[in-house]
Amino acid sequence: MIQEQIIKVLIYSHALFGGVALLSGLISLIAKKGKKTHKKSGKLFYYCMLLSALTALIIASLPQHESPFLFAIGIFSSYFIITGYRALRFKNKNINLKTDKIISAIMMFTGGLMILYNPLVHQKVNIVLSVLGIVGLVFSTRDLILYNNTDKLYNAWLKLHLGKMIGGYISATTAFVVVNNFFPSFYGWFIPGTIGGFYIVYWIKKVSKKQQAQIRLQ
């Protein structure tokens, strides 16, 4: 009985932190980048997303609530938020990337498990888990390659920050959409990501144009 009460508290906490993350993340997306509102709401989004993911990891590990699927999703969303926030450090060329490499290695391992778990354990493919695993593998591999080129990393810090943080917001939105059954079947898992993907491309192109304009002026 006490255990179930603890789990209920964790579930409510998970939902609360997720809700605050959705609201603060939206404010951060709308606010002008680099300004006080963007920074404060972005930081609130970061910590609430981490707490939401942490509670999900705990719930997914408890007896009678074990869920490799939920655990993997928690790792997946945490990866984007943590690496997106840490990308702000890449403005400094002289940084220690050991922790960043470990984080990416964990994501690579988790991505592989997300792809292989269902075929090995249940002898069938889980489309959602496989797609998310592939996405995690692609991003973590790219990050590890970038970590070996500090000059390129220095020039890409803003793109990495925006792309990863928006990716984290997509994760929060997807969870909200899926839990509330806004779309039938598995479409809810991919519609937010598709829309968010276009938004990421928009910002990456905008940053690239700005950087190219600055280079021409030098």
pLDDT digits (tens, 9 = 90+) for 150-174: 888 888 899 999 999 998 898 888 8
- Exposure string (b/e) for 164-182, b if CB count within 10 Å is 16 or more? bbbbbbbbbbbbbbbeeee
Q: Which of 158, 169, 114 is nearest to 140 (CA)?
A: 114
Least confident of 13-17, 53-57, 112-116, 210-214: 210-214
Residue type, 12: Y
Report whether pLDDT(200) > 80: yes
For the chain, the structural domain boundaries read: 2-209
Report whether pLDDT(132) > 90: no
Find the angle CA(84)-CA(182)-CA(197) to the nearest 5 degrees. 30
Average pLDDT, rounded, for the chain = 87
Helix axes 150-179, 68-86, angle to 10 degrees: 140
Report whether pLDDT(1) > 70: no
How far is the C-alpha of 185 from the C-alpha of 135, rounded, in Å?
21
- Which pair of tokens denotes residue 99? 């922790």
- Exposure string (b/e) for 96-132, b if CB count within 10 Å is 16 or more? ebeebeebbeebbebbebbbebbeeeeeeebebbbbb
Give Cβ neighbours of residue 4 (< 8 Å, ≥ 6 apart): none
Q: What percent of the chain clears pLDDT 70, i.e. is strictly above it?
A: 97
Residue 216: the pLDDT is 67
Length reported for the chain: 218
